[in-house]
Amino acid sequence: MSNIIDTGPNPLVTNIEAVTLENSNYRTTLWTGKNLQITLMSIEPGHDIGLEVHDTHDQFLRIEQGRAKVEMGPVKETLSSWEAEADYAVVVPAGTWHNLTSIGDVPMRVYSIYAPPQHPHGTVHVTKAEADAAEAEES
């Protein structure tokens, strides 16, 4: 388990690739400010983030390790699909349905930037099940 702590809204200078690769939790917030949040994710092969839409949030994701099937579109029943790998970025405009599935042989390690923040400051979800349960409580 990673010992990464959300230091926002204090200034942060870090090697984003190194901390992303270090993170072994499904989701860990690295930095949460008033208008922006950086979240680290580790998705096991064959698993996904889960089809979702953020009506008021733009999202940037960068893959640091692994491979992904990326699906996006304005309607969840009609999504376009791409493959992406380490060093690829995925930009998700607000209101766009999206999902990333880990299709490689190693965990997919990504960092995500939300504007504005999506998760409470200090969020750590070791597993996707834990994340899903927490999000159900927030709804």
Number of separate domains in the chain:
1
Domain that residue 34 falls in: 16-138
In a domain, 57, yes or no: yes
The pLDDT value recorded for residue 99 is 98
The dihedral sign for the CA sequence 6, 48, 106, 80: negative
In a domain, 8, yes or no: no
pTM for the predicted model, two decimal places: 0.89
CATH number of the domain at 108, please: 2.60.120.10
The pLDDT value recorded for residue 2 is 62
Closest by alpha carbon to 52, among 92, 23, 89, 85?
92
The pLDDT value recorded for residue 136 is 77
The pLDDT value recorded for residue 3 is 82
The pLDDT value recorded for residue 119 is 81
| Ranges under pLDDT 70 in the chain | 1-2, 139
In a domain, 9, yes or no: no
Tens-place pLDDT, residues 44-68: 999 999 999 999 999 999 999 999 9
Question: How many angstroms separate the CA atoms of 98 and 17, rounded?
Answer: 23
In a domain, 1, yes or no: no
